[in-house]
Amino acid sequence: MNFLENIITSLMLIRVTDIIDIAIVAFVIYKLFSLLRNTRAEQVLKGLIFVLFFASIADILNLNTVSWVMNQFLTVALVFIIVVFQPELRSALERLGRGRSLFSSEKIQRDERSIDELVSAMSSLSRQKIGALVVLEREVGLSDIIESGTKLDSDISSELLINIFIPNTPLHDGAVIIRKNTIAAAACYLPLSSSNTIAKELGTRHRAAIGISEKSDCLVVIVSEETGNISVAENGKINRYFDEESLRIRLKNELVNTDDLLKKEKKGEVNEKEK
């Protein structure tokens, strides 16, 4: 009975601020696990949690020597994690720093014509089995990536995109960066993903697409040179085997404002009635 009374008394002492405090900590831990998922740092984090649990048990059982060893290990382990897993931690902080992209679903608007031109180019390259890599910038800027290539600042057209990726041309090797409704640059270098969950049959082009999607909120379209398959990478994940229509639907859902589409559809219905 005393145990139950103690629990009831403790519950009665809980304030609203305590609940908010616990919720914030729980949210931060959840986001931390989400950001580090499928990285090497995830396994280290699990090991660190196990060590913390073991150290707590040692304190409860008054195992002073074991507790001292665990505390010394944890002190060294924190420095070790920061040094060895700096790329993963930096990536996690970059994604956390997006702010709006974590808590908002607002889309960067793009012209439907630009999407149609891009889809037409990717479909043509797919049929010819010509490799392609196109990065569509969103809220997180890619100026550093753009500076690594050749600046174009040209309108999006299927003919230009196809010509860029034709083998043995000056700009075919690397990625095209699309900023809003323009081709910002071509022949850009992308960071490769270090994830060990990527399928073995995917090559450097796909690994680069996943790598840039891990570091920003961009959308990446890839055409495989070996198979001609079209894939889309976003948030460190890749979806494969798109055809022309499914790619168009995916890009418009992600990049074109839904309200604008509805207005255009209604306008089209009005015009049909007038005819």
Beta-strand ranges (E) seen in the chain are 132-136, 150-155, 175-179, 182-188, 219-223, 230-234, 237-242
Label residue 31 by pLDDT band (50, 70, 90).
Answer: confident
Averaged confidence pLDDT in the chain: 80
Our count of domains for the chain comes to 2
Higher confidence at residue 204 or residue 45? 204
What pLDDT, on a 0 to 100 scale, did the predictor assign at position 217?
86
- The residue-averaged pLDDT of 3-11 equals 71
Higher confidence at residue 97 or residue 227? 227
Helices and strands: H and E segment counts in the chain: 12, 7
The set of residues, in sequence order, having a beta carbon less than 8 Å from that of 193 and lying 6+ positions away, is 207, 208, 210, 211, 214, 236
Residue 3 within any structural domain of the chain: yes
Residue 263 within any structural domain of the chain: no
Q: Are residues 252 and 130 both part of a single domain?
A: yes
Residue 151 confidence (pLDDT) above 60 = yes
Residue 126 within any structural domain of the chain: yes
Q: Are residues 119 and 92 both part of a single domain?
A: no
Residue pair 179/145 in contact by the 8 Å Cβ criterion: no
What pLDDT, on a 0 to 100 scale, did the predictor assign at position 115?
93
**Low-confidence winner among 40-44, 80-84, 219-223 (lowest mean pLDDT):** 40-44
Q: Are residues 77 and 123 both part of a single domain?
A: no
Residue 101 confidence (pLDDT) above 60 = no
Rounded distance, CA 221 to CA 18, Å?
46
Rounded distance, CA 120 to CA 132, Å?
13
222 is written with which tokens?
Answer: 């890839």
Higher confidence at residue 221 or residue 62? 221
Q: Are residues 14 and 75 both part of a single domain?
A: yes
What pLDDT, on a 0 to 100 scale, did the predictor assign at position 84?
64
Percent of the chain with pLDDT over 90: 37
Residue 262 within any structural domain of the chain: no
Residue 26 within any structural domain of the chain: yes
Q: Which amino acid is at 252?
A: K
pLDDT tens profile 199-224 = 888 999 999 999 999 888 899 999 99
Residue 105 within any structural domain of the chain: no
Q: Are residues 189 and 66 both part of a single domain?
A: no
What pLDDT, on a 0 to 100 scale, did the predictor assign at position 140?
80
Q: Range of 122's domain? A: 112-256
Q: Are residues 25 and 81 both part of a single domain?
A: yes
Q: Are residues 120 and 224 both part of a single domain?
A: yes
Task: Please tell me whether residue 256 adopts helix, strand or coil conformation.
Answer: coil
pLDDT tens profile 155-200 = 999 999 999 999 988 898 899 999 988 999 999 999 898 888 888 8
What pLDDT, on a 0 to 100 scale, did the predictor assign at position 233?
95
Label residue 39 by pLDDT band (50, 70, 90).
Answer: low
- The residue-averaged pLDDT of 26-43 equals 70
Nearest CA to 38 out of 221, 198, 202, 233 is that of 198
Cα dihedral 90/180/260/215 (nearest 10)? -10
Q: Are residues 130 and 245 both part of a single domain?
A: yes
What pLDDT, on a 0 to 100 scale, did the predictor assign at position 208?
94
What pLDDT, on a 0 to 100 scale, did the predictor assign at position 232?
96
- The residue-averaged pLDDT of 56-72 equals 81
